[in-house]
C-alpha cells in the first residue's frame, strides 16, 4: 500500500528553518495569551485570585473582586438536621395520605433502616404575612417573619450521615481537612474591626456539633484565618491580667518584647511565621479590652433581654438567647463572619439537637422553644438597627428528613435528597420561594440546588467570585466550591 503524501504543512516541518519559523509564531501566541490572562485582559478570564495579605497584618481589610451587596455574614446552623416538613416546606399530600405507603418506595431503606408509612407534620401550617407563605406553627415567631425570608426548598446534600454532611455545609467537602467558609471569607476580605477576630463561632450552650471545630477550622489556609470559638456563657479565657502583675510591669514587658521582635524581624525579613505569631499576640492584647466589652451583655437594656428571652426561666433558652444577643453585638462591631449554632451532639441522638428519629414530637417541643423567640428576635433586632441592610443571614441545617416515619417509630430518618434553607438581609430577594421538592417533600425536583450553589451565592453577595477565589495547596488550586457551584438567582 502506497504511503499518503505529506501535506504542505508537513513538508515545511521537514525543513529546519521553516520548522523554527512557523513553530515560533505559535509560541508567540501562547506567550501573548499567558500575558493577557495574568493581567486579566481576556474577555472571560477565570484565572485564580489569591488575596494579597501580610503576615504582619493578616486581618487588614481587603478589597472584594467586585462591588458587594453584603459586608458581613451570619450563619445560624441547626445541628442534627431540622425537619423541613415540620417547618417550612408545606406538602398537602402528607395530610391527605397520612398513614399510607409512599408510592414507589416499597421497602425503602434509609440511614437507620426500613421506613414506614407517610406521616403528616405534627404542627398545622398557616398562611403568613402578605405573601401568604404556608409555614407551620412549630416556630410561630420565625413564621411571622416570612415576608423577610427567601426560602430555598430544593437544597440537596452529598451525604446522609451527620458528620460528613456537617462538613459539607460548613466547608464544602464531606471529608475532613478542608477550610470552613468563615475561614475562606476572612482569608479573602479580612475585617474592618482590628480589635476583634474576623471570624467567630458561637457554640450552643449545650455543646458543639458532631464535627466540632471542623466548622471553624482553617485546614490548609494559614492558621490565622481560623475562627475563634466562644459564647455568652464561656467567653474567651485568659484575657485578664493576673492580679499579682502590676500594670506598669506589664507595659514595660510588652515594650521589651516588641523591641526584641523588631530586631529579629529586621535580621530575618522573610520570617512570616514570626510575623504571624506577633500579629496573633497583638490581636490577643487588643481583645483583652474589646472581647471583654463585646461579651458584656449587662450593657443591654431590660427590653432587649425580654425581646430575646434572655431572662427566660428555661436556662437552655436563656443561654441560646444570650448567644443570639452576642451574635448581634459582634455583627454590630464589624466582625466579618459569625456562625451561631443551635443544638449539640454530645448529649445523644435527638436529646440536645434536631436528630428526631424515634420520638420527634416530644424532642422538637423542647428544641423549638429554645430556637424560636431568640432567633426571631435576632432578625428583628438586626433589622431595627439597620444592620440587616449590610448583613446576609443564612439559616441552614445539614440535610432534611423523610416524609415517612421510621418503621416502628414516630420520628423521621435522614434525607439528603431535598430540604430547605432560608436567607435574608443584604442583597436577598425577600418574601420569595425558590425551587421545590416533590409532592411528598422527599426529593428536590424543581431548580435543584447544591451546597456548592449556596456557598457560591454567599461569596457572590460579599463581592467574591467563587470560581476565582483560591489557595494553592499540594499542587491544586483549591476553592470553597471545589469545581462546582452556580449563583442561585435569588438576588434582589
Pairing of strands 125-128, 404-406: unpaired
As given in the structure block, the three cell numbers for residue 481 are 466550591
For residue 61, what is its C-alpha cell?
Answer: 481589610
Q: Categorize the per-residue pLDDT at 157 as very low, low, confident or very high, splitting at 50, 70 and 90.
A: very high
* Tens of pLDDT, residues 297-314: 998 999 999 999 999 999
Q: How high is the pLDDT of residue 20?
A: 61
What are the tens digits of pLDDT across the range 199-214?
Answer: 999 999 999 999 999 9
pLDDT above 90 for 459: yes
pLDDT digits (tens, 9 = 90+) for 16-26: 666 666 556 66
Element (H or E) spanning 140, and its range? helix 140-143
pLDDT for 256 equals 82
- Whether the pLDDT of residue 44 is over 60: the answer is no
Task: Catalogue the long-range contacts made by 405-409 (C-beta closer than 8 Å, 24 or more residues apart).
Answer: 405/115, 405/116, 405/117, 405/119, 406/112, 406/113, 406/114, 406/115, 406/116, 406/357, 406/358, 407/113, 407/114, 407/115, 407/116, 408/116, 409/116, 409/357, 409/358, 409/359
> Nearest to residue 374, comparing CAs of 314, 315, 320?
320
CA distance 209 to 215: 9
Return the minimum-mean-pLDDT range out of 86-90, 154-158, 260-264.
260-264
Q: Alpha carbon of 336 to those of 49, 197, 222: distances in Å?
A: 20, 8, 17
Q: Average pLDDT for residues 459-487, to the nearest whole number?
A: 97
Band the pLDDT of 109: cuts 50, 70, 90.
confident
Q: How many CB atoms sit inside 10 A of residue 336's CB?
A: 26
- Cβ atoms of residues 118 and 101 within 8 Å: yes
268 in Cβ contact with 333 (< 8 Å): no
* H-helix segments, 214-299: 247-267, 272-294
Distances (CA, A) of 256 to 56, 241, 381: 18, 17, 45
User: Does 245 have pLDDT greater than 60?
Assistant: yes
Q: Strand 432-434 vs strand 400-401: parallel, antiparallel, or unpaired? A: unpaired
> What is the number of residues in the chain?
492
Q: Exposed, middle or buried, 237 (CB in 10 Å: 0-12/13-18/19+)? A: exposed
Runs of H (alpha helix) within 339-471: 360-384, 451-461
Torsion sign (Cα): 431, 437, 442, 445 = negative
Report the mean per-residue pLDDT for the chain: 89
**In 459-475, which positions are buried (b, 16+ CB within 10 angstroms) versus exposed (e)?**
bbbbbbbbbbbbbeeee
More confident residue, 195 or 344: 344
Question: Quick one: average pLDDT of 16-40?
Answer: 60
Higher-confidence position of 261 and 326: 326
Point out the least confidently predicted range of 53-62, 305-314, 462-471.
53-62
Q: What is the pLDDT of residues 395-448, one digit of tens each?
A: 999 999 999 999 889 999 999 999 999 999 999 999 999 999 999 999 999 999
**Looking at per-residue confidence, does 92 or 23 come out higher?**
92
Q: Do 73 and 201 contact (CB within 8 A), yes or no?
A: no
Given pLDDT bands bounded at 50, 70 and 90, which one contains residue 372?
very high
pLDDT band with cut points at 50, 70 and 90 for residue 232: confident
pLDDT at 117: 94
The pLDDT assigned to 425 comes to 97
Closest CA to 54 of 280, 284, 275, 336: 275
Residue 274 or residue 327, greater confidence: 327
Q: What is the predicted pLDDT for the residue at 59?
A: 87
Report pLDDT for 458.
98
CA distances from 79 to 6, 11, 166, 211, 482 (A): 68, 69, 8, 10, 24
Amino acid at each position: 500500500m502506497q504511503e499518503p503524501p505529506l501535506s504542505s504543512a508537513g513538508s515545511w516541518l521537514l525543513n529546519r528553518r521553516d520548522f523554527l519559523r512557523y513553530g515560533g509564531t505559535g509560541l508567540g501566541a501562547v506567550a501573548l495569551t499567558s500575558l493577557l490572562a495574568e493581567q486579566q485582559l481576556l474577555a472571560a478570564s477565570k484565572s485564580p485570585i489569591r488575596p494579597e495579605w501580610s503576615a504582619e497584618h493578616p486581618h487588614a481589610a481587603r478589597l472584594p473582586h467586585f462591588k458587594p451587596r453584603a459586608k458581613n455574614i451570619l450563619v445560624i446552623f441547626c445541628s442534627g438536621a431540622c425537619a423541613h416538613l415540620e417547618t417550612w416546606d408545606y406538602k398537602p399530600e402528607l395530610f391527605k395520605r397520612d398513614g399510607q405507603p409512599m408510592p414507589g418506595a416499597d421497602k425503602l431503606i434509609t440511614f437507620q433502616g426500613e421506613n414506614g408509612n407517610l406521616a403528616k407534620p405534627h404542627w398545622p401550617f398557616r398562611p403568613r404575612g402578605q405573601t401568604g407563605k404556608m409555614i407551620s406553627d412549630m416556630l410561630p415567631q420565625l413564621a411571622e417573619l416570612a415576608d423577610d425570608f427567601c426560602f430555598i426548598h430544593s437544597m440537596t446534600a452529598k451525604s446522609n450521615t451527620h458528620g460528613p454532611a456537617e462538613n459539607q455545609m460548613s466547608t464544602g467537602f464531606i471529608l475532613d481537612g478542608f477550610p470552613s467558609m468563615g475561614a475562606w471569607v476572612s482569608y479573602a476580605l479580612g475585617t474592618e474591626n482590628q480589635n476583634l477576630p474576623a471570624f467567630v463561632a458561637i457554640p450552643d450552650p449545650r455543646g458543639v456539633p458532631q464535627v466540632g471545630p471542623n466548622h471553624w477550622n482553617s485546614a490548609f489556609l494559614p492558621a490565622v484565618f481560623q475562627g475563634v470559638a466562644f459564647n455568652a456563657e464561656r467567653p474567651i479565657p485568659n484575657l485578664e491580667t493576673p492580679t499579682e502583675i502590676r500594670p506598669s510591669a506589664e507595659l514595660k514587658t510588652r515594650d521589651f518584647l516588641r523591641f526584641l521582635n523588631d530586631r529579629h524581624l529586621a535580621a530575618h525579613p522573610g520570617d512570616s511565621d514570626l510575623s504571624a505569631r506577633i500579629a496573633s499576640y497583638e490581636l490577643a492584647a487588643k481583645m483583652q479590652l474589646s472581647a471583654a466589652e463585646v461579651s458584656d451583655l449587662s450593657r443591654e437594656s431590660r427590653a432587649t433581654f425580654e425581646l430575646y428571652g434572655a431572662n427566660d426561666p428555661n436556662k437552655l433558652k436563656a443561654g441560646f438567647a444570650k448567644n443570639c444577643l452576642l451574635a448581634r453585638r459582634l455583627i454590630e462591631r464589624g466582625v466579618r463572619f459569625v456562625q451561631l449554632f443551635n443544638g449539640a451532639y454530645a448529649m445523644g441522638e435527638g436529646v440536645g439537637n434536631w436528630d428526631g428519629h424515634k420520638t420527634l414530637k416530644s424532642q422538637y417541643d423542647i428544641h423549638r422553644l429554645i430556637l424560636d423567640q431568640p432567633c426571631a428576635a435576632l432578625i428583628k433586632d438586626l433589622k431595627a438597627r439597620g444592620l440587616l441592610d449590610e448583613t446576609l443571614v443564612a439559616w441552614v441545617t445539614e440535610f432534611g428528613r423523610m416524609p415517612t416515619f421510621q418503621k416502628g417509630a414516630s420520628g423521621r430518618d435522614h434525607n439528603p435528597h431535598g430540604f430547605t434553607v432560608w436567607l435574608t438581609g443584604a442583597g436577598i430577594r425577600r418574601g420569595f420561594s425558590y425551587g421545590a421538592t416533590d409532592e411528598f417533600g422527599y426529593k428536590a425536583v424543581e431548580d435543584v440546588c447544591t451546597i456548592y450553589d449556596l456557598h457560591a451565592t454567599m461569596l457572590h453577595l460579599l463581592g467574591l467570585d467563587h470560581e476565582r477565589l483560591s489557595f494553592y495547596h499540594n499542587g491544586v488550586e483549591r476553592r470553597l466550591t471545589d469545581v462546582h457551584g452556580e449563583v442561585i438567582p435569588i438576588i434582589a
